[in-house]
Amino acid sequence: MFALRTFIIAVAIASANALTSSLQQVTANFGSNPTNVKMYQYKPTALATPTPLIIAMHYCTGTAQAYFSGTNLAQLADQHGFIVVYPNAPTSGGCWDVATTATLTHNGGGDSLGIANLVRYAIANWGVDASRVFATGTSSGAMMTNVLMGAYPDLFAAGSLYSGVPYGCFAGPSAWNSQCAQGQLSKTPQAWGDQVRSGYPGFTGTRPKVQFWHGTADTTLYPQNFQEEIKQWTNVFGVSQTPTANISNNPQSGYSRASFGPNVQAILAQGVGHTVPEHETDTLDWFGLSSLTPGSSNPGNPGTTTPPTSTPPTTSAPPATTSPTGATAAHYAQCGGIGYSGPTVCAAPYTCKAANAYYSQCL
Q: Which of the following is catalytic: 92, 131, 139, 297?
A: 139
Count of C-beta atoms within a 10 Å radius of residue 173: 8
* Ordered mean pLDDT values, 10 residues apiece, the chain (363 residues): 38 54 96 98 96 98 97 97 98 96 98 98 97 98 98 98 98 94 96 98 96 97 98 98 96 97 98 97 97 73 38 32 52 60 74 61 66
Cβ–Cβ under 8 Å, residues 52 and 129:
yes
The sign of the CA dihedral 183, 338, 282, 114 is negative
111-117-118-122 Cα dihedral, nearest 10 degrees: 160
Residue 300 is predicted with a pLDDT of 43
Residue 253 is predicted with a pLDDT of 97
Cβ–Cβ under 8 Å, residues 145 and 164:
yes
Instruction: Compute the distance between CA of residue 279 and CA of residue 335 in angstroms, rounded to an integer.
Output: 25
Q: What is the pTM of this model?
A: 0.81
Residue 60 is predicted with a pLDDT of 97
Instruction: Compute the distance between CA of residue 344 and CA of residue 328 in angstroms, rounded to an integer.
Output: 7
Residue 54 is predicted with a pLDDT of 98
174 is catalytic: no
Residue 12 is predicted with a pLDDT of 32
Residue 352 is predicted with a pLDDT of 79
Cα distances from 25 to residues 40, 41, 120, 131, 166, in angstroms, run 4, 6, 17, 24, 30
Burial track 82-113 (b if 16+ CB lie within 10 A, e otherwise):
bbbbbbbbbeeebbbbbbbebbbbbebbbbbb
- The pairing of strands 209-215 and 264-269 is parallel
Residue 328 is predicted with a pLDDT of 74
Q: H or E segment at 231?
A: helix 224-236
Domain range summary for the chain, segments of one domain joined by + = 23-287, 333-362
Cβ–Cβ under 8 Å, residues 53 and 122:
yes
Amino acid at 204: T
The DSSP call for residue 316 is: P
3-class state of residue 105 by DSSP = coil
Instruction: Compute the distance between CA of residue 76 and CA of residue 80 in angstroms, rounded to an integer.
Output: 6
23-287: CATH class: alpha beta
Using CB atoms within 10 A of its CB, is residue 188 exposed (0-12), middle (13-18) or buried (19+)?
A: exposed
Instruction: Compute the distance between CA of residue 256 and CA of residue 328 in angstroms, rounded to an integer.
Output: 18
Ordered strands of the 334-336 beta sheet: 334-336, 359-362, 352-356
- Widest Cα–Cα separation across the chain: 70
Residue 15 is predicted with a pLDDT of 36
